[in-house]
């Protein structure tokens, strides 16, 4: 038996949404769907502003910068994770 590493979860409308984004010529961030998702997150969490990133790696990079991670800081993370999890902090000397 093979267990897929990453299998996308489909609810039924994904291809329609992709077609809409393609028809609007907006396949990257800051399009209609990004704005809708930001608004949904802000409403659900009560946050003043929600911003999406293109990857978790980018979010971790931003978190490390915002947390002002400096050389010598200790960051605790799971022992089994992607290397990019550690890279966001190691690049700042942690």
Q: Grade residue 29 by pLDDT with cuts at 50, 70 and 90.
A: confident
* Site of tokens 């799971």: 78
Report the pLDDT value the prediction gives residue 27, as an integer from 0 to 100.
81
* Site of tokens 């022992």: 79
Closest CA to 57 of 88, 80, 30: 88
Q: Grade residue 20 by pLDDT with cuts at 50, 70 and 90.
A: very high
Q: How far is CA 5 from CA 1, 27, 45, 75, 91, in A?
A: 13, 25, 30, 27, 27
């Amino acid at each position: 038996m093979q267990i897929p590493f990453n299998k996308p979860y489909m609810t039924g409308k994904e291809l329609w949404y992709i077609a809409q984004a393609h028809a609007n010529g907006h396949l990257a961030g800051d399009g209609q769907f990004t704005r809708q998702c930001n608004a949904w997150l802000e409403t659900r969490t009560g946050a003043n502003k929600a911003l999406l990133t293109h990857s978790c790696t980018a979010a971790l990079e931003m978190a490390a910068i915002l947390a002002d991670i400096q050389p010598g800081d200790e960051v605790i993370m799971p022992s089994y994770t992607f290397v990019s999890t550690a890279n966001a902090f190691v690049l700042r000397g942690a």
